[in-house]
Amino acid sequence: MNLTDKANQLKKRITPGIWEDKKGQIHFSIPELLALHDLEDTPENHEVVKEMLLELMKKNNPNTPVLFRKSPTDDGEDLR
């Protein structure tokens, strides 16, 4: 994914750890979400949060691609 492409750039931050790009794609930062809820940043917690977010997005927004990134400028992991 080319983050210099204007379509992939940050459009709005929804909350710490969640933002939307100019294409309407939702991006998640698991480290930010864990910190927001005072949870330890461990591989186990990452996996639990990732699975919960994927389940939630598939149930409520099945056609919306899901990206996990550390920040809006990180290339991230596309989990469509």
What is the pLDDT tens value at each position of the chain, 80 positions in all?
A: 444 455 556 678 888 888 888 888 888 889 999 999 999 999 999 999 999 998 998 899 888 777 777 766 666 655 54
pTM, two decimals, is 0.69
State the Cα–Cα distance between residues 10 and 35, nearest whole angstrom: 21
Residue 44: predicted pLDDT:
96
Residues 72 and 19: beta-carbon distance below 8 Å: yes
Whether 68 maps to a domain, the answer reads yes
Whether 1 maps to a domain, the answer reads no
Q: Which residue has the tokens 């459009």?
A: 11
Count of domains forming the chain: 1
State the Cα–Cα distance between residues 23 and 10, nearest whole angstrom: 9
Whether 57 maps to a domain, the answer reads yes
Strand ranges across the sheet with 10-15:
10-15, 18-21, 26-28, 66-68, 77-78
Whether 64 maps to a domain, the answer reads yes
Whether 12 maps to a domain, the answer reads yes
Whether 77 maps to a domain, the answer reads no
Whether 24 maps to a domain, the answer reads yes
Whether 79 maps to a domain, the answer reads no
Residues spanned by the domain of 39? 6-72
